[in-house]
Amino acid sequence: MVSMSELWICREQVAKKPFRLEIPDVEIWTIEELCFYLFQSKDSLEDGVIGPELFAWLSEELALPRLAAALEQEQQQGRQDCWCAWFLLKEIGMYSTKELEEMRLLCLALEDKDEFERQKLKADRLLRGQKYGRCIDAYGRLLAMDQVYPQKKIVLGDIWHNLGVAHARMFLFAEAEEYFSKAYECNQRAESKAALQQARAKREQQSGEFEIPPRSEEEWNVCLNQLREEYKKKVM
């Protein structure tokens, strides 16, 4: 006897229109690809993946209306995205019992996390996805939440550190130096101290690249004459 899950997984149906994920900016065409993404992202699933657009895509593009309806019902019962993802993977049957149980336990653990912790997971994922502008905004919101969700200094230090990483990867080394400095003040991590030194060196190097070297009046006159001679050659 073949189970419903096995029937679904063996269909290998490819959608005519993909389900687009903004992070990590990929298009999903099959239920297998969706399952792979959900399993790999189980600890920090981007908000909005499990929602009306996914339900419509499953129903219309992959002809899985019963799965879409069951998934929507789970969400309406107040289940978080991680739990809904686990439910979908369980129904499809693509992963082993052990893997599914590990994911179920993770979902239960995430349910105990407060808003601050869940938002930090999202911000960290934006950083890993190289969405630097969005992750900077996300970390900024976390810092604004500190009054409501007081955290240990080491956690705040890690947020400052990740802000430094985002700015350094955009070659904004002055800002990165400032954030790494704040990070090290909070967490005293060797990693933050090393990043601070690297950002400072990069900032100094960057400043030197655009600095006009000092010249005497005589040297400037020589340069000016050279430019004049080059100009004459081009126009004559």
The tens digit of pLDDT for each residue in 61-120 reads 999 999 999 999 999 998 888 889 999 999 999 899 999 999 998 888 777 777 788 788
Mean pLDDT of the chain: 83
The per-residue pLDDT for 209 is: 57
Rounded to an integer, what distance in angstroms lies between the CA atom of residue 167 and that of residue 159? Answer: 13
Confidence of residue 139 (pLDDT cuts 50, 70, 90): very high
Q: Is the pLDDT of residue 215 over 80?
A: no
Rounded to an integer, what distance in angstroms lies between the CA atom of residue 62 and that of residue 68? Answer: 10
Confidence of residue 210 (pLDDT cuts 50, 70, 90): low
Burial string for 101-116 (b: 16+ CB within 10 Å, else e) reads eebbeebeebeeeeeb
The per-residue pLDDT for 185 is: 92
Q: Is the pLDDT of residue 5 over 80?
A: no
CB 137 within 8 A of CB 129: no
Structure tokens at 125: 């994922």
The tens digit of pLDDT for each residue in 164-205 reads 999 999 999 999 999 999 999 998 999 999 999 999 998 888
Confidence of residue 7 (pLDDT cuts 50, 70, 90): very low
The per-residue pLDDT for 151 is: 63
The secondary structure of 204-229 as a DSSP string is HHHHHHTPPPP--HHHHHHHHHHHHH
Domains of the chain: 4-111 (no CATH), 115-209 (1.25.40.10)
